[in-house]
Structure 1
Amino acid sequence: MKQLYTKWGRELNPEHILEEYPRPLLVRESYINLNGRWEYAFTKTFRRPEMFEGTILVPFSPESILSGVGRQLKPDEYLWYRCSFSVSLQILRESAQHRLLHFGAVDQSCVVYINGREAVRHTGGYLPFQADITDLLIEGENELAVVVKDLSDTSYHARGKQKLKRGGMFYTAQGGIWQTVWMEDVPKNHITELIAEPDFDAGRVKMTVKSEKPSDMQIQIYPARMQLREEQNKGMSYREEQMNKSPTQDPLICVEGTSNKPIEIMLPEVHPWTCEAPYLYYFTVKMEKDVAQSYFAMRTFTVEKDKGGIPRICLNHQVQFQKGVLDQGYWPDGLYTAPSDEALIFDIQSMKDMGFNMIRKHIKIEPQRWYYHCDRLGMVVWQDMVNGGGQYRSWFVTYAATVLSWRNVKVKDGFTRLLARQEKAGRLEFIREMKETVRLLKGHPSIAAWVIFNEGWGQFQASKMTEILRNEDNTRLIDQASGWFDQGGGNLQSIHNYFFKLRIRPEEHRATVLSEFGGYSMRKEGHSACLTQYGYGIFTDERLLNKAYRKLERDVEKLIPKGLCASVYTQLSDVEEEVNGIFTYDREVQKIQNSEAMGK
């Protein structure tokens, strides 16, 4: 496979790696970024190595070229990391502060040590975790060590599109630390979570400030702040007011209350969040010695019947056709980890410029900054749960399922062996991680829908999962089973179609969506990672590719009056062999142009 680089990867400065504040929904001034060069070693046993092999650039996984390693972490190995940081215990004690250590994501299981003593262990390669390491610290230099085990697709753990033997629609497996590692200092009784639940119809927001013990607090809500956008020769760059700076405007409202108790706040003025005007309310919470900032938006996503009795997706009770694109979140130089914040922005803004108003984030959880950019740029998100389970049986979940779906043959999802969900531990883990995913991301106003299962990969008891998910969040739409093995629940009848003539059969209560289609492929010499190519319809001429895409767009548009409510084109960029992207894998060439540029 040819190694490709994005422009952001080529320009990477190892001394300044992903330094932006990683948690936009709970921002403090205290922020110590630990990204950078760490030591690493591979071992065959769970024993700390006597010698480390070299340096790795965290948070890039060892399989990525940007890590400086370029080596696969195998299921029978352990990956060890080590770095050091300085601490003044005197200052911590005098200020009565606690030191928290955060990991954005480590794939799959890990144990974290501070000065040789265990601080925390975690399993779940897509979710963040933290530890209070105050009692493990010493004066001066401290050692942080992490050991990682990644079973990849040899176990039932969540894995997304990762596969040790990549090919086709499955991509290079990556492991280890792949999101920002950072620390912050907080008071002993500090804000642990900020929950803002907007009630669009009532013009109010319910605020809950979580803390270890109830304390008096003050909440100040501010209007949206200016976002500055600069055009450059290629792509976009953005300068934005830092969220951890004091707001320059006077607050719209100021309320007092007690942490751990919900407070309902009526807004003096309601500015709806839309794709065209993504208005955000920022707020500051002061509780004892702790101060944190966050934001929310006033909007609601619903399914409502139009004048003809057809269920439609609505934003703020206005019918919105959600024109979406599938996004795998893979990068040729960083794999799961984007080389920079600007790279994340480029993908989102480029899709807006293409005329899309929605991105389906495909079986991957991004760093929270990706969702923050969708919030502030006005891009609707459908968020997939990350799939897991045993080895998938392609003859059943791909080939047979495609034909059965086209013929509208319903198949129950109780066949745990055929759907690769035999292990009870794996089913329980999926439920736990589904709940954690919702709790992590539900504060982002851009998220319109949760997608539980995709094409039967590790699917089980979808109706029960829908009930569990609804209890976690009843404010968003649910796509119970994207593609096939539909059990009739959720808010969406979710169809995949790559091979047949487009058609729909609208239902009485659920909105009908084309949640995957297209996938037209074209290999671009010099910008393709593989000689082989995978996709749905192969083109060698860019003009013919665009002509076919325009026709497909028109075919979709004809279905909207008949009841189609959303579409998701496959896909945003090429990934390895799968060269059906609007952009090439390196984001250097835009193969499909927007309608205005090409002319309809």
Structure 2
Amino acid sequence: MFQKERTSLLLGLCSAFITTAAMAQEPTTWHIQQGTILTRWAEQVNPTKVLPEYPRPQMVRPQWQNLNGLWQYVITDKTSGLPESYAGNILVPYPIESALSGVKKPIKANELLWYKHNFEKPALKTDERLLLHFGAVDFEATVYLNGKELGTHRGGYQHFTLDATNALQSGKNELVVKVWDPTDLGPNPHGKQVLSPQGIMYTPSSGIWQTVWMETVPSTFIESIRITPDIDKQQAIAHIAVKDSKSSDLSGYTVVLTTKNGSKMVSTVKLPAGKPALLSIANPHLWSPDDPFLYDLEVKLVKNGKVADEVKSYFGMRKIAIQKDEKGRDRIFLNNQYTFNLGTLDQGFWPDGLYTAPTDAALKFDIEAAKAMGFNTIRKHIKIEPDRWYYHADKIGMLVWQDMVNPGNDTQDGHAEFEKESAENIAQLYNHPCITTWVLFNEKWGQYDQERLTRWIKQTDPSRIVNGHSGEMLYVNDLLRSPSPNAWIGSDIADVHSYPFPRNAPAMPGKARVLGEFGGIGVPIEGHLWNDLQAGWGYDGVVTPPIMQKQYTQMVDSLKVLEQEGLSASIYTQPFDVESEQNGLMTYDRAIIKLPAAIIRNIHARVWPVTKNYLASTKAFSAAVADTINKDYAARLQEYKSGKNDSAFLRSLTLLALQNKDAVNAARFSAEYINKLKNPFQENNLIFIERVTTKRTDPGFSILEKSVSIAGMANSPRSITAKLETIIFDDEVKSLLTEKPDWNKVEAVIHQHQPLEGEMIRGLCVIRYLNAASRDQQNATQNLVEAATRYDDRYHAGAYNDWAWTLFEKSNKKEELEKAVEWSQKAISKETDQFRVASTMDTHANLLYKLGNKQEALQWQEKAVAASPGDTEIKDNFEKMKRGEPTWPNAN
């Protein structure tokens, strides 16, 4: 590798070059959107110099321009063409949903996100080309330059490059990027991003989320480098791809590769372009977490004695393999020595930047933090990071298990996209010595063709270990949730997940036994939560830091026993809290470490020694240490009585009152807090107000109601309208729902509260009469029909089925039963769950039978029986129909 001083100088010169031409012409209006916690690095984000570091340390050229900074954006319908105007400014490359973007808006699956940016044409010599590089755009990006389409790329995690030369014009050039990102509603691998809650998932990161930059190259240039070390043979094999923009003829071109150890030359090789190069490395200085030594590599493309192109790179000499220890057990070996992979599950999310770290120092910090806590391994969980993350891991010395990003859906398109992107991931990250393990699948998320794909990865990259399925067997509280008859087929590893306490994977010939995930001790830290309204979460509840230390010590003691029995690796969940999860060793904002790093490091040393270079490589690590979670509620009340009433204190005190079921004080404190708010319409304030508002007379009700009426307001989620309508129902409508209700009065109440649509209010009316019908109250079935028929087709299948079945059981009126038949038909047409469709057909058949349509009823009931083999109730109804017996209760 470049020595430290030379690396800093080279990348510094590159950074200095970029800040001239690219950014000055864009507008400068930008501010961080509020409503979430921020990291310490957020205040260092400068819109005129955003992530200025050279983005591709594996292939460095001096002639480049950074295009990060303020761009313009607009969100349109998916069918829209090129926009004529834009909505405002966005800070690239932070995702539009993030606070650092300056926008913080969600993108729907049926919408497009457009970007526009102007730059001055750089000076180009004859036969030079201008390449436009995108670090990553999620998910589908179409790029236009001066109105000309340059190309489209699919894949939210991979680099892509377009040749912009032929579309350039003198002076100002207009760059437009169109993005479509369906997140979890399309075929695209999306990791833990979701548009709608599905278990423990996180906020999406749509659009541009890695550096955008331009690079000047000759018409024939070095396109890529692929280096494979072989420490046993004391050599490395280099494949250098050369591209000619005009032809495929590379005759006359020579590639010269020079390996250096600092200023000392190690070897030089010269060969025709297109040929693999054998780099001889006598007595190689090996790369490891203890000693992350890197060799420098200079690559020159030469023709007729002149250097046409030149790049600088680096590589590490290391070997990873499954080998047998002295007892004949299959273990993970690094450089032919058994090395326990003591790791943590890093998901790469940030509270202010989501997928994008605020600064390069922040990106580096996460690896330094893991090192400071005594880990030697990071499992990068279903996310591909920017190149610089792996560069820092290479330099600091951290083993990396790299997950593939789980398939988007179980379709042919989804499978094809997953395989294409996985191949690109391997090619993109191939040269980083830190990556020792590829992880194909995680806990059966989108799993298919496991044997074929595992063997394909192994064939594609035989120099690394392949973990074909992490957590294919998943244990929670000692219960096996995910049995599998043919786990880890084709894999180098047998991998189980066990929460919260560790367990070993079964011993299998030729496979290392690893614990791919465990732990998850929840410790919420007040003032450092993504959402202080959510209860703390961990796999085994939440505890205080002292209890955490006791539990974590017990877990690591168990790891030591398992390691002696043959365990080769463990991955603790997780280094940092993420959104709703408070099971990190540090808070989401990286401000608080829940146990002192030295204590965590010493606990880990029971299993595997701390890396020899941890002090030198973690000098920049710092974090305050948590002492306790919250003060005692009684002590907080005393502080309040003594006059403490600042805004943050009142918010915290309100939540403590709610936790202690102190409704009277919760109402008092929340009212004081709300009255102090300068901007109650910020998202985090609205969510808080929604939580504490329970009746119309509460001070938050009018704020919530006003938030709905503000045109275009992004901070009025559907939950707020539901809360408002529930309160209106309880306070104003419920009393109108007599045995003979006046529906005009109900509609009048709804009309008084426009722009609320009243959908929830009417739905609650239906539920009230549905319950009344179940209790055989007078006029209840008639009122149920009247309430329910006020709706169009907005309800889901289950609701229509419930209404229809209730009338089947409770009503003998022909007109009501005919209405129920309409509902059961809707239930059948809307139901998508194969396990519930039989129930809807059973309801429909029973209604037809009760109305006297026996033949049609039998046809539907036969379908219901076929759709639900083993359901005795449906089968009994079928037999009764065939015998002509009633199937409804109280028939006599």
Same fold (TM over 0.5): yes
Partner of 2:82: 48
- The answer as to 2:471 corresponding to 1:483 is yes
| Alignment check: 8 A CA contact 2:70 2:90 kept | yes
| Alignment check: 8 A CA contact 1:478 1:492 kept | yes
1:233-269 C-alpha deviation (Å, 9 max, x unpaired): xxxxxxxxxxxxxxxx142222211221001121234
Shift of 1:25: 1.1
Separation in structure 2 between the aligned mates of residue 324 and residue 299 of structure 1, nearest angstrom: 19
Aligned ranges 1:329-340 → 2 under 5 Å? 329-340=348-359
Shift of 1:222: 1.0
Partner of 1:229: none
Q: Helix, strand or coil for the counterpart of 2:265?
A: coil
Separation in structure 2 between the aligned mates of residue 184 and residue 599 of structure 1, nearest angstrom: 47
Shift of 1:501: 6.3
Listed as ranges, the gaps of 5+ residues in structure 1 are: 225-248, 391-420
- The answer as to 2:344 corresponding to 1:311 is no
Give the counterpart letter for 1:155 in structure 2: G
- The answer as to 2:584 corresponding to 1:584 is no
| Alignment check: 8 A CA contact 2:115 2:177 kept | yes
1:209-228 C-alpha deviation (Å, 9 max, x unpaired): 1112432121111115xxxx
Give the counterpart letter for 1:37 in structure 2: L
Separation in structure 2 between the aligned mates of residue 480 and residue 117 of structure 1, nearest angstrom: 43
1:195-217 C-alpha deviation (Å, 9 max, x unpaired): 21111100011122111243212
- The answer as to 2:261 corresponding to 1:223 is yes
Q: Helix, strand or coil for the counterpart of 1:163?
A: coil
Higher helix share: 2
Give the counterpart letter for 1:150 in structure 2: D
RMSD over equivalenced CA pairs, Å: 1.5
Pick one of 280, 283, 301 that aligns with 2:297.
Answer: 283
Partner of 2:111: 77
Partner of 1:567: 570
Separation in structure 2 between the aligned mates of residue 38 and residue 27 of structure 1, nearest angstrom: 26
Separation in structure 2 between the aligned mates of residue 598 and residue 431 of structure 1, nearest angstrom: 39
1:79-112 C-alpha deviation (Å, 9 max, x unpaired): 1100011115xx41x3421000000110011110
Separation in structure 2 between the aligned mates of residue 534 and residue 457 of structure 1, nearest angstrom: 22
Shift of 1:114: 0.3
| Alignment check: 8 A CA contact 2:268 2:279 kept | no
Give the counterpart letter for 1:456 in structure 2: K
Separation in structure 2 between the aligned mates of residue 302 and residue 424 of structure 1, nearest angstrom: 34
Structure 1's 272 and 52: CA in aligned 2 closer, same or farther, altered over 3 A?
A: same
Q: Helix, strand or coil for the counterpart of 1:101?
A: strand
| Alignment check: 8 A CA contact 1:205 1:267 kept | yes
Partner of 1:58: 92
- Structure 1 range deviating more: 502-511 or 300-309: 502-511
Structure 1's 483 and 84: CA in aligned 2 closer, same or farther, altered over 3 A?
A: same
Partner of 1:514: 515
| Alignment check: 8 A CA contact 1:110 1:123 kept | yes
Partner of 2:809: none
- Percent identical across equivalent pairs? 42
Shift of 1:10: 2.3
- The answer as to 2:341 corresponding to 1:322 is yes
Structure 1's 598 and 336: CA in aligned 2 closer, same or farther, altered over 3 A?
A: closer
Separation in structure 1 between the aligned mates of residue 542 and residue 287 of structure 2, nearest angstrom: 39
Aligned ranges 1:2-81 → 2 under 5 Å? 2-44=35-77, 45-81=79-115
Partner of 2:233: 202
Q: Helix, strand or coil for the counterpart of 1:374?
A: helix
| Alignment check: 8 A CA contact 1:546 1:592 kept | yes
Give the counterpart letter for 2:55 in structure 1: P
Q: Helix, strand or coil for the counterpart of 1:66?
A: coil
Between Structure 1 and Structure 2, whose CA radius of gyration is higher? Answer: 2
Shift of 1:389: 3.0
| Alignment check: 8 A CA contact 1:167 1:577 kept | no
Pick one of 424, 433, 438 that aligns with 1:445.
Answer: 433
Aligned ranges 1:346-385 → 2 under 5 Å? 346-385=365-404
Partner of 1:552: 555
| Alignment check: 8 A CA contact 2:504 2:514 kept | no
**Deviation beyond 3 Å, 4+ runs, structure 1:** 592-600
Structure 1's 75 and 120: CA in aligned 2 closer, same or farther, altered over 3 A?
A: same
Listed as ranges, the gaps of 5+ residues in structure 2 are: 1-33, 244-248, 303-307, 473-483, 604-892
| Alignment check: 8 A CA contact 1:208 1:259 kept | no
Give the counterpart letter for 2:519 in structure 1: G
Higher strand share: 1
Shift of 1:467: 1.6
Shift of 1:596: 3.9
| Alignment check: 8 A CA contact 2:373 2:600 kept | no
- The answer as to 2:189 corresponding to 1:158 is yes
1:25-44 C-alpha deviation (Å, 9 max, x unpaired): 11111110000000001111
Partner of 1:192: 223
Partner of 1:251: 265
Pick one of 129, 132, 135 that aligns with 1:98.
Answer: 129
Q: Helix, strand or coil for the counterpart of 1:529?
A: coil
1:361-386 C-alpha deviation (Å, 9 max, x unpaired): 00000000000110111100000000
1:127-170 C-alpha deviation (Å, 9 max, x unpaired): 11010110000011100000101111112210000011246520
Structure 1's 500 and 378: CA in aligned 2 closer, same or farther, altered over 3 A?
A: closer
Shift of 1:537: 1.7
Partner of 1:497: 498
- The answer as to 2:446 corresponding to 1:458 is yes
Give the counterpart letter for 2:494 in structure 1: Q
Question: TM-score, with normalisation over the residues of structure 1?
Answer: 0.88
Structure 1's 599 and 470: CA in aligned 2 closer, same or farther, altered over 3 A?
A: closer
| Alignment check: 8 A CA contact 2:135 2:212 kept | yes
Separation in structure 1 between the aligned mates of residue 104 and residue 597 of structure 2, nearest angstrom: 36
